[in-house]
Structure 1
Amino acid sequence: MYSPFLSILLGVIGPWQIVLVVVVLLLLFGGKKIPELMRGLGQGMKEFKDASKGDDTAGKDGKG
């Protein structure tokens, strides 16, 4: 799937910006808290995808 916004965003963000973001995250949350945050983010994204798939099927049935 092609996303023009994503391609623009990736064109603007370089390796040094990514390093800067990682360093700031380490300073703010520490090394032990980051895996917990990423796990929660991943679970939230999975639940969102599951919910959006459920909404699509309900709309096709005419019951949603």
Structure 2
Amino acid sequence: MEAAVAASVLDERQVVSEGRPGAGLAFRHPLVRLTCYEGLSAVRRRLLHSAYAEACCAAARRPWTRWPPI
């Protein structure tokens, strides 16, 4: 992660999670995100999808929150 931030591939940004602000990361360009995603193994993709699904389910139980960013 540190190398990606240093290379300006990722930006450190303020995000809100569970109603609290905190540090987060975002890709600078959608094609970079897609390239990184396609480079993941099937196991890593499955783990990331599972973590996102759990976050969405948790957010759905709190109607005042938005869906977690991808």
Q: Does TM-score exceed 0.5, indicating one fold? A: no
In the superposition, the TM-score normalised over structure 1's length comes to: 0.40
Higher share in helix: 1
In the superposition, the TM-score normalised over structure 2's length comes to: 0.37
